[in-house]
Amino acid sequence: MIPPKDKLTICFAHVAYQLRAQYERRKPGIGSFEVRIRDDLDRRVGEAHVLVISGLWRNELVELGEKLRFIQSIGAGVDQFPKDVLAQRGIRLASARGVNAKAVSEHAMALILALSRRLPEARDNQAKRVWRGMIGDLTQREDELGGKTLIVVGLGGIGGRLAQLAKAFDMKVIGFRRDPASGKGHADSIHGLGELKALLPQADFVALTCPLTKETENLIDDGALGRMKKSAFLVNAARGRCVDEAALIKALADGRIAGAAIDVTAEEPLPASSPLWTMPNAFITPHTGGETRRYEDNVLDILQENLDRLWRGEKALRNQVV
């Protein structure tokens, strides 16, 4: 059990988000503090019963957080947390799944549009004051999305909404999810991951919106890339390790696929030495797919619901992990 409201202390740990300021505007009557760097987090985490965190997490915090009873992840992904250790210590964990479903699905759709309309090239040309002439080669022109086929890997909240957006552009959508029986939503058809490689040749765009699991790690490897059309594009709005990055770099360099738009990379920030930075057929956004002006309030809604459940003694949490 967590302490009652008047004895509870929450630590908000993030390098940039205004979580505590937004929380205080709600006048919760709960003690809280905010840290933005690891040294301060190490020094003060022992004061907290509840930790709201994502990127600043390190496993050493389990030992340092002697009073810790509940962790609310700021992000949907929780692969960084040692779930077995938390369970042994009686520390509950919940994700923020769904907190940025609209933002990420819209970002993925924006990446698809950017690739189709060659917007990265236009921005580069603007910086160089180049007015590109008209193109005779049909394969090199901007394109329309209507009639194109989009594969969406991970048809959850994000992927499901991406499918809905794609249908508004008259695209055919083939969905993939761990349990196809959960439904196809706005997709035209739904399949298990085991069928992915067989259906990849049909895709004009392949979008990843899946969680990182043993099943999805390196899901897009050299073999998968080799089954895509040379005119097809890869969009990764999931996790960097869902793609074999070395294989992707080689496929882009060899022209085996037309291009890739990636919001996530295997190592973040992307190392300055990565060839992806200078590849003309690679478009990179710095893991900003989930960024939205509503993010803090969306997280705080989940946090407050889980605190209320814990105070009522309920076993199930919203987005429960541990």
Q: Name the residue among 218, 213, 276, 215 with its Cα closest to residue 243.
A: 218
Catalytic residue, candidates 69, 287, 296, 318: 287
Answer for the pair 209, 187: CB distance below 8 angstroms, yes or no. Answer: no
In the residue annotation, 186 being an active-site residue is answered as no
Q: Is the dihedral of CA 97, 100, 106, 112 positive or negative?
A: negative
The Cα diameter of the chain in Å comes to: 71
Q: Which residues contact 207 (CB under 8 A, 6 or more apart)?
A: 108, 112, 150, 151, 152, 153, 159, 162, 235, 236, 237
Report how far apart, in Å, the C-alpha atoms of 206 and of each of 158, 201, 227, 267 are: 14, 10, 11, 21
Both structure tokens of 168: 């508004």
* 3-class DSSP assignment, residue 72: strand
36 annotated active-site:
no
- Residue 268 a catalytic site member: yes
Place of tokens 């594009």: 233
Phi-psi domain of 179 (left: phi exceeds 0; alpha: psi -120 through 50; beta: other): beta
Check 69, 161, 191, 239 and give the catalytic one. 239
Catalytic residue among 142, 268, 294, 314: 268
Active site residues: 239, 268, 287
